Amino acid sequence: MGDVKILGTGAYVPDRIVSNDEVAVAAGVDDDWISSRTMIRERRWAANHQATSDLAAAAARVAMESAGITVDQLSVIVVATSTPDRPQPPAAAYVQELLGAPAAAAFDVNAVCSGMVFALTAAEGILVRRGGYALVIGADVYSRILNPVDRKTVILFGDGAGAVVLGTTGKGSIVRHIALHTFGDRSGLIEVPAGGSRLPLSQSGIEDGLFYFAMDGRGVRGFVAEHLPQLVSQFLCEAGVTPEDISHFVPHQANGVMLDGLFSELDFPHAIMHRTLENYGNTGAASIPITLDMAARSGAFHPGDLILVAGFGGGMAAGLALIEW
């Protein structure tokens, strides 16, 4: 069985455009405050009738069309999300139903904003054993768990989905190396405090805002500055490449100012960093596949280019992947 390849990409974002002005009012800031600190100008939020699985299925259809496969060829569907439709069952089960792919095993992966890379790893291992094709989707609807008065979070997040089709046959982009890391001692930096077995549903939890997404922004920036450059250096060494070999950098779309600082620290002399956060904000697990798809469709990637994908976020977790286009 050959290398696992990316055979097609796809993305979907909701129609509703939410400007900085719209989120700024309740948060007590303004457009200049948001854009100067994040580089985000607007984001998309799901319609009332849309859940995570709806966005995921829409992105999946685009990816399958790009790959030239049909649903009956799928062996597995993996959805990376931290905002599933419901606590149970997995969002992937709903995606399977929406796509009409009953032969495909379907499950979720929750590694928050690093989820897409973790999901790629899971799907890759299944394909090596089973063959066929895998649909790997990153999808999140953060707008449903944001506190409208919390300026640390509500200004950052948007909704969306991105997908890739993996296979071991045909022409495609080779996934050359993947590395996954989790720093559980930093798990309190990003969380939804209530709603699980630790703090189950309660009226007091609702009144105290414990079901909203919460983030220590300063702590997250410190985590990225402390760990990402070292992890990337280690990863490139393991993969047998140098910073000079990297043509493209596709990071999780956390914050534009932070990404500029990280990219400068990484010092890739020949690489282009790709960003979509200006128009879509931070879309969680969807941000990497959305950005990968849009860069691919723009013609930015050329045969032989090496693409470094870097996810980081809640857990705290980091996932790195090297793709040869």
> Active-site positions?
113, 252, 282
| Rounded Cα–Cα distance for residues 309 and 120 (Å) | 11
- The per-residue b/e assignment along 14-39, b for 16 or more CB within 10 angstroms, e otherwise, is beeebebeebbeebebebeebbebbb
Bridge partners of residue 313, in order along the sequence: 317
- The per-residue b/e assignment along 263-283, b for 16 or more CB within 10 angstroms, e otherwise, is beebebeebbbbbbbeebbbb
Bridge partners of residue 79, in order along the sequence: 108, 137
In the block, residue with structure tokens 């870097």: 310
Query: If 0-12 CB within 10 Å is exposed, 13-18 middle and 19+ buried, where does residue 53 land?
Result: buried
Q: What is the DSSP letter of 85?
A: S
CB contact at 8 A, 250 and 295: yes
In the block, residue with structure tokens 């009409």: 100
| Range list of H helices, 2-75 | 20-27, 31-38, 52-67
Residue-by-residue DSSP string for 168-203: SSSS-EEEEEEEEEE-GGGGGGEE--SSSSSS-S-H
Q: How far is CA 9 from CA 5, 159, 288, 289, in A?
A: 11, 18, 11, 8
Q: Which two tokens stand for residue 153?
A: 């979070």
Distance of CA 32 to the CA centre of its chain: 26
